[in-house]
């Protein structure tokens, strides 16, 4: 339901970052979305297309990497990947495990750009 707000935030961040490369075209925007981020990918893509239409980001592809949930199991003393978010139990020993280590990611990892100009960026 809030994918439109998220799409707008992504556009803002990417526009800001690509401003360091004047004249460039953003080809791809790579996201990391945790299994607990509550983002519906189809809905985000739909909102993305709507949001970038008519802007310099039009045509940029969203590439999504899904990040599974990892919890620390105190019983096994190890980080384990959950099979499903329906149960926060260690798949190895069956004990409840509350200590969340990964899975809430809602991140822009990187962007791929075609740089038409000589670099004017202050970034290395």
CB nearer other proteins, residue 81 or residue 115: 115
Quick one: which H or E segment has residue 65? strand 61-67
Find, among 63, 75, 58, 71, the residue nearest to 104 by Cα.
71
Smallest separation, CB 61 to other proteins (Å):
13
Q: Distances from the Cα of 69 to the Cαs of 9, 30, 46, 90, in angstroms? A: 24, 19, 25, 11
Smallest separation, CB 58 to other proteins (Å):
18
Q: Is 100 helix (H, G, I), strand (E, B) or coil?
A: strand
Smallest separation, CB 31 to other proteins (Å):
7
Smallest separation, CB 123 to other proteins (Å):
8
Q: Is 64 helix (H, G, I), strand (E, B) or coil?
A: strand
Residues lying near other proteins in the complex (CB under 8 A): 1-2, 5-6, 9-10, 12-14, 17-18, 20-21, 27, 31, 36-38, 85-89, 96-98, 100, 104, 106-116, 123
CB nearer other proteins, residue 23 or residue 53: 23
Strand partners, 28: 61, 112
């Amino acid at each position: 339901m809030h994918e439109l707000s998220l799409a707008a935030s992504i556009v803002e961040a990417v526009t800001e970052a690509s401003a360091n490369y004047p004249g460039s075209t953003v080809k791809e925007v790579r996201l990391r979305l945790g299994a607990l981020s509550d983002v519906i990918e189809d809905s985000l893509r739909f909102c993305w297309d709507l949001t970038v239409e008519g802007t310099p980001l039009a045509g940029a592809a969203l590439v999504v990497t899904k990040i599974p949930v990892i919890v620390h199991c105190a019983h096994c003393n190890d980080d384990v990947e959950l099979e499903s978010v329906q149960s926060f139990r260690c798949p190895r020993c069956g004990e409840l495990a509350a200590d969340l280590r990964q899975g809430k990611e809602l991140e822009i990892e990187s962007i791929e750009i075609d740089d038409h100009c000589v670099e004017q960026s202050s970034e290395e």
